Amino acid sequence: MPYRALSLTLAITAGVAGTVWLLSAENEGSFRGLLQDTNSSAPQMVSNQDTVAPATPAGPVPEPPSENALGFMLASVAEEYQQTIRYPDYSVPLTKAQAEAYQGNRYHPVVLPLEGDGRFVVTLDKFRFSQGEPILVVASLNGRQVFGQSLSATLETAGERGRVASAELENADPGYYQGTVSSDHPPGEYRLIVEARVDGKPVRHVSSLTIEPDLGSFEGLETAYVSGNDLVIPVRFDPEQSGYYALSAQLYSGETPLAQLQQETSLGSSSAVIRLKAHGSVLANRDIQGTLQLRHLQIRRLPAAPGDRTDYAFGPEEGYEFSPPDLDGLRDQPAMNPESEQRAALLRQLADKF
């Protein structure tokens, strides 16, 4: 990850160096915005107008940017990178918003608008289902003329669009329908199609989901302990097959998220222990009372060869609660990574040259 972060930094620097003169007139002082996560930026809406702009004299020639503009950008990158490497990859702090976003098996309902302020919504309790696990489907439908006491649900493969299962969703309450669809099918991507009749015409709602193989079972936690500047939380997992696995989970104190933990390891076909670690930089100087909780456990079996899919499995919904050992010895100190420190120093040196 640090190599990718540095590569991205240098690529941004090279791209901005050629365009900073052109952008400076309208974007003065906004170089820090170039460092923001592009996933959070909303698409810009452009309105088409049938008017012709009157001819106007050309504006003043833009002034070239300050000689320190590129240096300012590099200094900002260096500062943010320095904050990032403060925490080890296996233990990073969490805000409540981040904890919500990192939950890996949440289904986000899609609303299909109907005429007359009607709505057609299909809800699943998750996005990934283990092979053989019933898929509970709940649909809400309201509109001017909704016909029928049931809706049809069809599961088909995402690629070939081959139908693999179907079920009827029965009317449970006014405007609500529910039923189950079998997931006893090969692992992969699927489309769930729920069809209703509104105003005498068929209306289809399409959702996406995946069916995952049975990777194994979580068997609980062993006693947590402190090692160096880490709280070590041993998680027992019984895999169905050997392979290379990645386990992640969120550490909570009550309703306060503390850290996102992750660990990669090779597992055989027998029961094993995966040791998650919470670094002292995310635990020290916190008022932790009583028990801690490990929530939203997710394990992935990583591809054995290029082109293989990544398989997912999840821990119990309630997670695990445990009593931590004495945490007074943990220290709020940055993680020691000489290579990362060298990269940070290189970025600072580059910034100082401008």
Transcribe 228-284 into DSSP letters.
TTEEEEEEEEEESS-EEEEEEEEEEETTEEEEEEEEEEEE-SS-EEEEEEEEHHHHT
Does the pLDDT at position 4 exceed 60? no
| C-alpha to C-alpha distance for 91 and 258, rounded to whole angstroms | 10
Q: What pTM, to 2 d.p., does this model score?
A: 0.69
> What CATH code is assigned to 216-322?
2.60.40.10
Paired sense of beta strands 135-142 and 146-157, if any: unpaired
Kind and range of the H or E run holding 210: strand 201-212
Q: 59-68, 86-95, 170-179, 192-201: lowest mean pLDDT where? A: 59-68
Residue in the structure block whose two tokens are 């120093």: 345
Q: What is the per-residue pLDDT across 149-160, written as a single tens digit (0 to 9) for each?
A: 789 999 999 988
Burial of 254-280, coded b for 16+ CB within 10 Å and e otherwise, reads: eeebbbbbbbeeebeeeebebbbbbbb
Name which of 101, 188, 95, 201 is nearest 144 in CA terms: 201
180 pLDDT more than 90? yes
pLDDT for 351 beyond 90: no
Report domain extents, the chain: 110-212, 216-322
Q: What is the mean pLDDT of residues 106-115?
A: 88
CATH architecture of 110-212: Sandwich (2.60)
Q: What percent of the chain has pLDDT over 70?
A: 69
Question: Both tokens of residue 298?
Answer: 């997710």
In this predicted structure, what is the pLDDT of residue 271? Answer: 87
pLDDT in tens, 138-149: 999 887 666 667
Q: Sorting pLDDT into bands at 50, 70 and 90, what band is 319?
A: very high
